[in-house]
A and B are shown apart, each in its own frame.
Chain A
Amino acid sequence: MKCIKKLRIKNFKKFADETFEFNDDINILVGDNECGKSSVLEAIELCLNCCHRGRPLSPEVLAELFNSNCVETYLNGDKSQTSLPELLIEAYVDGDPELKGTNNSEGTDTQGISLKMLFNSDLSPYYEPFIASGDVLTVPFELYKTEWMSFAWKPLAQLARPVGCLFVDPTRLHPTIGRSRYINSIISASVDGHARPTLNLNYRQLKIQFNEKPDVKAVNAQLNAGNELTKKTLKIVADITPSGSWDSNLSLAVDDISFAHIGKGEQNQIQIKVAIQNKANDVDVVMLEEPENHLSHINLIQLISYIEQKNTGKQIFLTTHSSYVLNKLSIKKLCLLTKEYVKLKDIDADTVETLKRLPGYDTLRMVLAQKVILVEGPSDELVLKKIYLGLNGRLPEEDGIDIIVVRGIGFKVYLDIAKALKHPVRVVKDNDHDYQRNIVDWRNEDYKDCDFIECYSPEDNALHSLEPALVAANGDTVAALDKLAKVMLSAKTYGKEYAPCADLAAKRAYVNGWFDTSKKKVDSAIRIFDTPETISYPDYLTKAVSFGT
């Protein structure tokens, strides 16, 4: 079983120089849009297959691949031959000792493949007139060469690729353009070696039979009746030239509808399953781009369990924006592309299992957000948003602050992930009548040295949750409390039960008592969010949404 241990990328797309370590089995690449997830997959395809999204590496393609900064540096430099940028991708692999050698950028004795795009010094006579012309607007990729070799410095050939890789890329499935090549690779991967000659032979015979059909003959007899068009025989025939081999002419059909025209979701599923199953057994690495695309939730569930159960011995790389995919395939396999690349390593095993069983939680939201606030319930979320809106005139999400309600699984799962990633996160948590035990001790137990995890909660045990804290913040005067009560309570409750209370103490006691038993706390929070009135908010909440400037 062959797999990629590590990938080094230099001057490719957005990566000036980056190293990625991978898991042997599954790698789930996540990151914000434009973070380079797809570029990593492309780099793998380039290095293993020596092509880019199925296209051969022509000068036009090269121009798309080079890092724009290195091109810029070249254009702003002295433009000497040695300053021409080079692109390098190295896949450090395991499972093929023939690829072993020290010819890699690290100089270590290890197995691997390297792909280099660099100036072809044989062509330097052409470079001189190029720069002499003065107006150099781009790198002369026409004068470049691609060196594709193992770490043993043996040149590689596409027909005998040492590590096979299949890139499932639904966007390549255009009904007409470039269709056949891509579908070929799918068809080829789906049938075993013996089936290919059988298909080809039958296909050729079919074409010969076509020419012999009475109807076809009749048409042909009419075609040049009386030899008007030419004195020779003119016939319509099925093309039996060597180029017309079965795999470029046969296509897949689902329920008799051509593959390119079936639903995108179905296309997606079939492609992925074919790649995983790989009857031809020539694929070591399967790459999937956003498998959740075009799939309903139920279909996604089925597809992910197919990947989970049927994959034997292939290394999978997938990009996703779906927490479900991530949780279900195991959050342990997370490869996060942010400012720097992080591969999740030490994460609590229970948390991994919990998420496999309960994959519906928004783990990805937390992983990707720059600023995260975890809260217990929707009331906390609404109030925090209201505070932020009041302070900044914008909702927190508009400034990249994500408030996540942890719901049933509680804080632990989220914080375990944050801990493993060293991802900054804020927690707004009720003290539940015991600040020392529920906040201080709780934090010290699991997250002692995690200063990137900040906890916000009232220290006063009496302010055991959001509502008592709100009451306390607005409870100094009757007027203030009345205003709060008017917002939070229904008109009926306010008029009939709250208003008759004799003094401030009685009113406070009433409101607190009402919240202790009420099932309508969320309604109250919604009313707070909607009200134009200005009320006071507890300090710990204001701090929780203040990120400084």
Chain B
Amino acid sequence: MARKLLLASAGAGKSQRIAGEALKRAANGDRVLLLTYTINNQVELVRHICRANRVQPRNVVVKGWYEFLLEDMVRPYQRCIVPERISGIILNSANPHLGRTSSGKTFYYKGRAEKSDGHCNPLHFVTKEDSRAHTYYLAKLAAMIHEQTGGKPACRLSEIYNTVFIDEMQDLVGWDFAIIRSLVETSIAKFDCVGDFRQSVYQTSETTKKPQTIKEKLAEFKEMGFKIENLAISWRCIQSICDLADRVHAKDGHYAPTKSQVVTLPPEYADHNGVFAVPASRIVDYINAYNPVILRWDRRTKKQLCEGRIVYNFGESKGLGFDRILIIPPARHAKFLRGDTTAFDDANTDDSRNKLYVGITRARYSVAFSHEGGAVITGAQVWNPGD
């Protein structure tokens, strides 16, 4: 089996690349499965396919990760662990077995342990009332079914497909890797994983199972025989934006500098492009002047300002591209944008840092951020016209 891990920076055109590759394989008569994490990206992949080929060929199937786990890795053989048909999934934002008392103490619900009487406990994986699978444990369930059936789900999958691409592989974590491993062991001829660890913004399943960190994930891919390739280019962002984005993860030392592939700047952006620190008092002026898309932490951020304007949360904006953006930075982002390289050092996860990276790399021509005063990160200029 040919295995490749492609580390592509934001805007490198990986979705288009995957779509193209999938179409090429499909034209050869291969049966292709494209997997991705978010619905946005699922739509994006289909759009790329249809842009190139008008229709999605019958032998190219695009599925979301949970849909894939449920339909292909769980249900066909679920009865060895969960006798009742799993009716669907329930999206968990945290461990569903963890409760909190009114006084704030956490506790585990009874009867939901992984094993009971030495057997796998269905209630660890599905809801009691309507047999929906907890997404938090879905990959774990799939991995256990795989183990108990001696690899039947992966075997079935290899009878259906001979080419598998996983886009947004950065969002895979913990038990998801057991599934990747199960596919590696089959007769599937080509298996590519594509993504960018810096864009991982979803914490999706059990957090104790390794691999969790970028380092662990990279090691795991290598150990499974994936050949690692880099694609450090951007078709979206101009060079100054690439430079700012690179700075977010510069400390890790994993990534090559991103080279912008944007060669011509449309004339209407000529007078205002690059990175700008906008004083908080001038935000409305800035918005009125350049009409940027606003990126924020979540719905509670600056409600009044965002009202009636085009706004995305950082997470939601993934995979999208805008001409101009305005970031409303939470505390750590603001610290970083003041030039403090230790801004993310005290964070437990990469979540906040990655969200900033995703945010910055949405912009084609200009990135602005609200600035409360103090120093400004290298490469950014303070926007203060009329001064």
Q: Do A and B bind each other?
A: yes
Interface residues of chain A, those whose CB is within 8 Å of chain B, are 97-98, 100-103, 107, 109, 151-154
Contacts of A102 in B (CB 8 A): 76-77, 79-80, 149, 152
Contacts of B76 in A (CB 8 A): 100-103, 151-153
Contacts of B78 in A (CB 8 A): 103, 153
Not counting A109-B152, A154-B75, a sample of 8 additional A-B residue pairs whose C-beta atoms are within 8 angstroms of each other reads: A98-B160, A100-B76, A101-B76, A102-B79, A102-B149, A102-B152, A151-B76, A153-B85
A97→B75 contact, CB < 8 A: no
Bound together, the chains give a CA A152 to CA B157 distance in angstroms of 11
- A322 nearest CB across to chain B (Å): 40
Contacts of A97 in B (CB 8 A): 156, 159-160
Contacts of A154 in B (CB 8 A): 71, 75
List 12 interface pairs A-B (beta carbons < 8 Å), by A numbering.
A97-B156, A100-B156, A101-B75, A101-B77, A102-B77, A102-B152, A103-B76, A103-B79, A103-B85, A109-B149, A109-B152, A152-B75
Within B157-172, which residues are at the interface with A (CB < 8 Å)? 159-160
Contacts of A153 in B (CB 8 A): 75-76, 78, 85-86
Bound together, the chains give a CA A96 to CA B85 distance in angstroms of 21
Interface size class of B (residues with CB under 8 A): 10 to 19
Q: Which residue of A lies closest to B161 (CB)?
A: A97
- B387 nearest CB across to chain A (Å): 63
- Give the residue of B71, B79, B85, B160 whose beta carbon is less than 8 angstroms from that of A107: B79
Contacts of A109 in B (CB 8 A): 77, 149, 152
A-B residue pairs, 5 tightest by C-beta:
A101-B76, A97-B159, A152-B76, A153-B75, A97-B160
Bound together, the chains give a CA A100 to CA B152 distance in angstroms of 10
Bound together, the chains give a CA A152 to CA B71 distance in angstroms of 7
Contacts of B85 in A (CB 8 A): 103, 153
B156→A101 contact, CB < 8 A: yes
Bound together, the chains give a CA A97 to CA B76 distance in angstroms of 11
- A463 nearest CB across to chain B (Å): 67
Contacts of B149 in A (CB 8 A): 102, 109
Within B105-152, which residues are at the interface with A (CB < 8 Å)? 149, 152
- B255 nearest CB across to chain A (Å): 39
A100→B75 contact, CB < 8 A: no
- A127 nearest CB across to chain B (Å): 19
Contacts of A98 in B (CB 8 A): 160
**Is chain B's binding surface mostly helix, strand, loop or mixed?**
helix
Q: Which residue of A lies closest to B152 (CB)?
A: A109
Q: Which residue of B lies closest to A149 (CB)?
A: B85
**Is chain A's binding surface mostly helix, strand, loop or mixed?**
loop
Bound together, the chains give a CA A103 to CA B76 distance in angstroms of 6
- B126 nearest CB across to chain A (Å): 13
Contacts of A103 in B (CB 8 A): 75-76, 78-79, 85
Task: Encode contact with A along B304-334: 1 for CB under 8 Å, 0 otherwise.
Answer: 0000000000000000000000000000000
Contacts of A101 in B (CB 8 A): 75-77, 156
Within B68-121, which residues are at the interface with A (CB < 8 Å)? 71-72, 75-80, 85-86
Q: Chain B CB within 10 Å — which of A98, A103, A151, A154 has the most?
A: A98
Contacts of B77 in A (CB 8 A): 101-102, 109
Bound together, the chains give a CA A347 to CA B157 distance in angstroms of 39
Bound together, the chains give a CA A109 to CA B78 distance in angstroms of 12
- B61 nearest CB across to chain A (Å): 10
- B144 nearest CB across to chain A (Å): 15
Bound together, the chains give a CA A146 to CA B79 distance in angstroms of 21
Contacts of B86 in A (CB 8 A): 153
Bound together, the chains give a CA A101 to CA B153 distance in angstroms of 8
Contacts of B159 in A (CB 8 A): 97, 100
Bound together, the chains give a CA A86 to CA B149 distance in angstroms of 29
Contacts of B80 in A (CB 8 A): 102
Q: Chain A CB within 10 Å — which of B77, B79, B80 has the most?
A: B77
Q: Which residue of B lies closest to A99 (CB)?
A: B76
Contacts of B79 in A (CB 8 A): 102-103, 107
Bound together, the chains give a CA A103 to CA B160 distance in angstroms of 18
Q: Which residue of A lies closest to B156 (CB)?
A: A100
- A386 nearest CB across to chain B (Å): 65
Contacts of A107 in B (CB 8 A): 79
Bound together, the chains give a CA A107 to CA B71 distance in angstroms of 18
Bound together, the chains give a CA A151 to CA B85 distance in angstroms of 11
Bound together, the chains give a CA A214 to CA B159 distance in angstroms of 62
Bound together, the chains give a CA A151 to CA B77 distance in angstroms of 9
Bound together, the chains give a CA A153 to CA B78 distance in angstroms of 9
Q: Which residue of B lies closest to A100 (CB)?
A: B156
- B278 nearest CB across to chain A (Å): 52
Bound together, the chains give a CA A154 to CA B67 distance in angstroms of 11
Q: Which residue of B lies closest to A107 (CB)?
A: B79
Bound together, the chains give a CA A107 to CA B76 distance in angstroms of 11
- B46 nearest CB across to chain A (Å): 17
Within B194-249, which residues are at the interface with A (CB < 8 Å)? none
Bound together, the chains give a CA A103 to CA B79 distance in angstroms of 7
Bound together, the chains give a CA A338 to CA B75 distance in angstroms of 38
- B279 nearest CB across to chain A (Å): 56
Contacts of B156 in A (CB 8 A): 97, 100-101, 152
Bound together, the chains give a CA A102 to CA B83 distance in angstroms of 11
Contacts of B72 in A (CB 8 A): 152
- A270 nearest CB across to chain B (Å): 30
Bound together, the chains give a CA A151 to CA B152 distance in angstroms of 13
Bound together, the chains give a CA A152 to CA B69 distance in angstroms of 12
Contacts of B75 in A (CB 8 A): 101, 103, 152-154
- A147 nearest CB across to chain B (Å): 9
Contacts of B160 in A (CB 8 A): 97-98
Q: Chain A CB within 10 Å — which of B76, B77, B149, B159 has the most?
A: B76
Bound together, the chains give a CA A109 to CA B145 distance in angstroms of 13
Bound together, the chains give a CA A102 to CA B78 distance in angstroms of 8
Q: Which residue of A lies closest to B160 (CB)?
A: A97
- A90 nearest CB across to chain B (Å): 15
Q: Chain A CB within 10 Å — which of B75, B78, B152 has the most?
A: B75
- B15 nearest CB across to chain A (Å): 25
- B276 nearest CB across to chain A (Å): 51
Bound together, the chains give a CA A57 to CA B85 distance in angstroms of 23
Q: Which residue of A lies closest to B74 (CB)?
A: A153
Bound together, the chains give a CA A151 to CA B86 distance in angstroms of 13
Bound together, the chains give a CA A101 to CA B73 distance in angstroms of 10
Q: Which residue of B lies closest to A101 (CB)?
A: B76
Bound together, the chains give a CA A107 to CA B156 distance in angstroms of 15
Bound together, the chains give a CA A239 to CA B160 distance in angstroms of 45
Q: Which residue of B lies closest to A147 (CB)?
A: B85
Contacts of A151 in B (CB 8 A): 76
- B8 nearest CB across to chain A (Å): 30
Bound together, the chains give a CA A248 to CA B187 distance in angstroms of 47
